[in-house]
Structure formats: C-alpha cells, structure tokens
Amino acid sequence: MKILNSLLTSAAVALSFSLAGAATAQDCPRGDLDKRYCDLDGDLVADTPTDPADQVDPDTLIFAYTPVEDPAVYKAAWSDFLTHLENETGKPVVFFPVQSNAAQIEAMRSGRLHIAGFNTGSNPLAVNCAGFNPFTIMASKDGNFGYEMEIITYPGSGIEKVEDLKGKQLAFTSPTSNSGFKAPSAILKGDFDLLPDRDFEPVYSGKHDNSILGVANKDYMAASIANSVKARMISRDVIKPEQVVTIYKSQTFPTTGFGTAHNLTQDLKDKIRNAFLNFEWDGTSLQAEFEKSNEGQFLEMTYQEFWEVIRKIDTANGVSYACE
C-alpha cells in the first residue's frame, strides 16, 4: 500500500503543474468540458494537449474499475487483462481499488489515475470534469451490449407495481449512478409522477451490490439497480433469484465505459487502446467473471454516440457538469 500511495502522490505532483498550465494557456472550443480542456474536433471529449510539455508518459500506470462491488473480487478478475496491458505497454500496471464514483473521478482529475472503467452515470462527469477519454465497452461475443435499470423488491413486500412505491422506501446507490439514481429519478418523475421525499422515502446504499443484498435480506423495501450486477451476484450464489422480484425494467443503457486520461502521450494512448481491443478473452480471469453477465469482448465505441441517451437523462434531471 505504501508503494501505491507513493506512486499516486508522485503522479499527482508531476501532473499538477501541466494541468495548471493547460488551464491558463489554452483558449479553445470546449462545449461542456471544464476550462482546462479543449475539444477542437467536436467529439465531446478532451483533446490530447498539443504541447508535448503538457503530455505525460508515466513509468507506472494506475488502473481503476468502477466501484460497484467487492474490490477484492475485481482485482482478481482483472489480473489477466492487466498482465496483458503490461505486455502491450511495456509498463507495470497497478490496480487501484476506488471506494466511490466521486473518488474515482477526482483521482483522474488530479492526475492520479491513468486508465479506468467509469460506470454509466459517471461517464459524463468523468469526461467533462476529469478529461476522461472513453473508447470501449464490454459486449457479448455477438456484439450486443448494455444493461437495464430494474426496480426490485422482495416477495411479500406489498409492492407489486411501480405505483405501489408511494409511501414506501426506495434505495438508490449514489447520485452519480445512472441505474442507481439518474434513470429511475427521471422515469419515476416523468412516467409515474413520483418524487423522492414527497411520494417515497429515498435512502442511499452506496453501491449496487449493497442495494441488491439489502432487498434480498429485506433491509430495503425496494431498490433501483443495474441488472448486470444482479446477474453476476446470482451466478456467484451471493443471492438466490427467488429472493428478489422485478417490478420495472428500463430500456437498454450502455455499460461501463473504459478509456484513458486525456493527457497521456498519443503513443501510450494507442498502446492502451490496442491492449483492450486485441485482448483474447477465452480462458482468462476476465472471462470467468464477466461471462456471468454475457460479456466476452471489448467493443469500440464513441462517447458522443453511445452516451447520448445518458446525457438526455441528465438534462431531464437538471444535472450540471460544472466542476468544483
């Protein structure tokens, strides 16, 4: 842990000067991006800095996966991919077990995180406030991708349809989560005229697995969750299918977006991108975990296209991408 902290601190110090310089030196179109970034090509994500002095090529790469479940499980799940990433880049890679979406965004914004998978709802904030450059998502072998937001309850809760949430309790995960907060908030308001505090009691569990376990154990009456997380938990026998009942299922949303910090050198970005897209899943620790939610490849994508529906949900919820 001391080594990791040292690496993170060193990276933060090294990058703080280049980020500050970029904020004052660049005068460019940026849309919703923070003032430290440019978007000359109009693809909605931060450009690689044009000045080589503002680009970074770390000796050690830090990788973080979205904090949806037990970090120990996912450190093991990502081990084979991270070995592949080391081979492709020629650099050691450290798995950084972040504990919250906000901490993950701040880590990339401050230069302490180079490669990441941000959850669906966090992608716009990571793109606009932290300079995240997403380029791939997980998909099934036949090219299908995404997950649905479900509102779940337990048998005998007295909640059989969405309207029955009135006067009851509903668990969200965190305000930055799409399926854990943003999408259900927009849907409950727009389609059912249900508002938190006025019509139901909102509580926050912090993570999808907490919400799912909370419902299965009858600690929460209902919860909004990502069904891909539920599928993996059922596959690992963390819960039994009959412990939860789905009363609402949304349209399909894009799943976790993977990418890099904007200010890595283009050569390093290309090596990381290739590592994702040429990774052979068969027989790996990544396949063993993610085939439980029917995923078996990294699919190339663009933030501009794939996250359009999420940006629309944010607009409906009055979400601002202003960065503190």
pLDDT attached to residue 6: 44
Q: Which pLDDT score is estimated for 73?
A: 81
| Contact indicator for 27, 122 with CB cutoff of 8 Å | no
| Residue 143 CB-density burial (10 A; 0-12 exposed, 13-18 middle, 19+ buried) | exposed
178 pLDDT band, cuts 50/70/90, is very high
Higher pLDDT, 205 or 319: 205
Q: Tokens at residue 121, please?
A: 């709802």
The whole-number pLDDT of residue 320 equals 83
Q: Which residue has the higher pLDDT, 172 or 1?
A: 172
Residue range 170-182: average pLDDT? Answer: 93
Using pLDDT thresholds of 50, 70 and 90, give the confidence band for residue 181.
Answer: very high
Residue 55's closest CA among 247, 259, 265?
265
State the DSSP string of 182-216.
IHHHHHHHHHH---BTTTBEEEE-SSHHHHHHHHH
Whether the per-residue pLDDT at 155 is higher than 60: the answer is: yes
Query: What's the CATH fold of domain 147-253?
Result: D-Maltodextrin-Binding Protein; domain 2 (3.40.190)
Query: What pLDDT score was predicted for residue 316?
Result: 85
Phi-psi region of 56 (alpha: psi -120 to 50; beta: other; left: phi over 0): beta
| pLDDT on residue 319 | 84
Mean pLDDT (the chain, rounded): 90
Number of C-beta neighbours around residue 29 at 10 A: 11
DSSP string across 135-164:
EEEEE-TTS---EEEEEEE-TTSS--SGGG
Pairing of β 257-261 and β 222-226: unpaired
Q: What residue ranges do the domains of the chain occupy? A: 2-143+255-316, 147-253
| pLDDT over 90 percentage in the chain | 78
pLDDT tens sequence across 229-277 = 999 999 999 999 999 999 999 989 999 999 999 999 999 999 999 999 9
pLDDT per residue as tens digits for the range 274-303: 999 999 999 999 999 999 889 999 999 999
Q: Rg for the chain (alpha carbons), in Å?
A: 20
DSSP summary character for residue 179: I
3-state secondary structure 34-49: CCCCCCCCCCCCCCCC
Does CATH number 3.30.1490.20 belong to domain 2-143+255-316?
no
Q: 2-143+255-316 and 147-253 share one CATH topology?
A: yes
- Nearest residue to 186 via CA among 248, 133, 129, 241: 248
Order of all β-strands in the sheet with 132-139 = 93-95, 61-65, 115-118, 257-261, 132-139, 297-300
Structure tokens at 103: 């901490």
Distance (Å, whole) CA 119 – CA 101: 8
**Least confident among 53-57, 130-134, 172-176:** 172-176
Predicted local confidence at residue 52, as pLDDT? 96
Query: Would you state the structure tokens that stand for residue 26, as one six-digit string?
Result: 């660049």
Residue partners of 118: CB distance under 8 A and separation at least 6: 66, 101, 104, 105, 126, 132, 134, 256, 257
CA pair distance 199, 195, nearest whole angstrom: 5
Give me the numbers of helices (H) and strands (E) for the chain, helices first please: 12, 11
Q: Could you report the per-residue pLDDT of 6-45, keeping only the tens digit for each?
A: 444 444 434 443 444 444 444 799 999 999 999 999 999 9
| pLDDT tens-place string over residues 60-83 | 999 999 886 677 788 999 999 999
